[in-house]
């Protein structure tokens, strides 16, 4: 199953609930490691993760990239109430991602 891709403007215009948890996966289209990480996320989602994941092309997300100081891709940003609580740059395994997104 494919994740919903969202633009920076769409994400910024949404209202964020205080307790809402979500994950944003930042990528670039030509990044092979990003494609592999996305596939691992898809497998974790099929196994039943609790946190919704959306994707965002970091080339078109300058405000979030600067605000959150995202240093490289792939980057999985875990958010609570619209604020980052953790950045994961190393997608080690499907099992790690599954546990992270529970």
**Integer angstrom CA distances of residue 44 from 12, 14, 37, 97:** 26, 26, 11, 7
Which of 9-13, 16-20, 60-64 is least confident?
16-20
pLDDT tens digit sequence for 38-93: 999 999 999 999 999 999 999 999 999 999 999 999 999 999 988 999 999 999 99
| Residue 50 to residue 56: CA distance in whole angstroms | 19
What pLDDT sits at residue 89?
96
Q: How confident is the model at residue 2 (pLDDT cuts 50, 70, 90)?
A: confident
| Residue 65 to residue 42: CA distance in whole angstroms | 23
* 3 state DSSP class of 94: helix
Top pLDDT among 3 and 33 is at: 33
What pLDDT sits at residue 39?
95
């Amino acid at each position: 199953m494919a994740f919903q891709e969202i633009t920076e403007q769409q994400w910024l215009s949404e209202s964020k609930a205080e307790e809402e948890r979500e994950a944003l996966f930042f990528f670039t289209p030509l990044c092979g490691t990003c494609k592999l990480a996305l596939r691992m996320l898809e497998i974790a989602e099929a196994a039943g993760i609790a946190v919704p994941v959306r994707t965002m092309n970091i080339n078109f997300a300058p405000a979030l990239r600067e605000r959150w100081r995202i240093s490289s891709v792939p980057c999985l940003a875990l958010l609570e109430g619209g604020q980052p609580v953790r950045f994961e740059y190393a997608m080690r395994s499907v099992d790690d991602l599954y546990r992270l997104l529970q």
